[in-house]
Amino acid sequence: MEIEFTKMHGAGNDFVMIENLDGKIELTSEQVAKLCDRRFGIGADGLILLNPPADDSVEATMVYYNSDGGRVDMCGNGARCFTSFAIQNGVGDGSRVAFKTDAGPMTADADNGQFTIRMTPLKDLALDQSLTTPHGTFNYHFMNTGVEHVICFVDDVEEVDIRPEGSAIRYHEQFAPKGTNANFAQIMPDGVIKVRTYERGVEDETLACGTGVTAVAIAAVLKGLSQQPVSVLVAGGDVLTIGFKRDGGSVSEITLTGPAVNVFTGTVEV
C-alpha cells in the first residue's frame, strides 16, 4: 500500500503526518516504527494520523504514535503540527480547529505561522518529590499535561548527561509500569527557562517536547521561579510560550504557543 505523507516539525520535534479523513488507513506498531526509523524509513520522533471526527463535537481526531510504534495519549508539539496539517487539508474554518486526542478534546488557533493549542486539563500534580537513581538523588516535580512528566530544576542543563540520567528516571520503579518523560530545566538570567527532555517512546533526547515544556512552565510558576507568560527555550533553538490560569495551587486553561513547519511531502510504501 502506498501512502502520501507530509514531514513536519514543531520546534525541531518532527513528525510523519498522514491524512486519513476517510478512516481507511490502519497501521501496525511495526509499520509506524519503520516509517519513523531515521535510517530505513522517513525518520521522525513520531507519527500522526489526521482521522475523521469521533463525534459532532469536534472536526477531526488526532492519533499519535511515538517512534517506537507505541500509541500515546497526546503530544504538544505534535498537536500544533496537527492543527496546521488539518487546516491544510480543509478541516476547520482556516484559523481554528477542534479535535479529539486520546487525552481528551482540544482546540487550537492559527495566527501567522504561530499555533496556540488549549491543552487538556492538568492531572496528577505532585510538587517537591524526591527519588534516587544510580546518578544521584533528585528533587523533582511531577504532573500529567497530556502525558506524564518529571521536572528537575538544575544549575546547568548542559552538564546533564541526558541519555543515562533521563533513562534512569524514565524507567524508575516509582513510575512503573508506564514510566515517565524526564525534563531538566534551568532558569536563565533573563527569565527564559532552558529545557532538555528525554522522551519516553523515543528513548532519547528530542529537540522539543510540548507537553514537557508545559509541565516545566507550570512547575516554575507554582514554585515562584517564573512569571507568566513563560518563555521556554528548547534544544532545537525555538522559544515556546506557555500561559494558564492559576487559583492558588490549581491550574486551568493551559495554552502552548509556537511554530509548526512543513519540511517535505512524499509517498511511501508500507
Closest residue by Cα to residue 24 from 45, 55, 2, 56: 2
Distance CA 223, CA 172 (A): 24
Distance CA 203, CA 171 (A): 10
Q: Is 75 tagged catalytic?
A: yes
Distance CA 139, CA 187 (A): 16
Phi and psi based region of residue 72 (left: phi greater than 0; alpha: psi -120 to 50; beta: remaining):
beta
Helices first, then strands: H and E counts in the chain: 4, 18
Taking residue 166's Cβ as centre, other Cβ atoms within 10 Å add up to: 28
Catalytic residue among 36, 81, 152, 209: 209
Q: Is 81 tagged catalytic?
A: no
Catalytic residue among 36, 75, 81, 152: 75
Distance CA 74, CA 72 (A): 6
Alpha-carbon dihedral angle through residues 139, 145, 149, 152, given to the nearest 10 degrees:
-30
| In the block, residue with C-alpha cell 531538566 | 184
Q: Which three cell numbers stand for residue 127?
A: 510538587
Please list the active-site residues: 75, 209
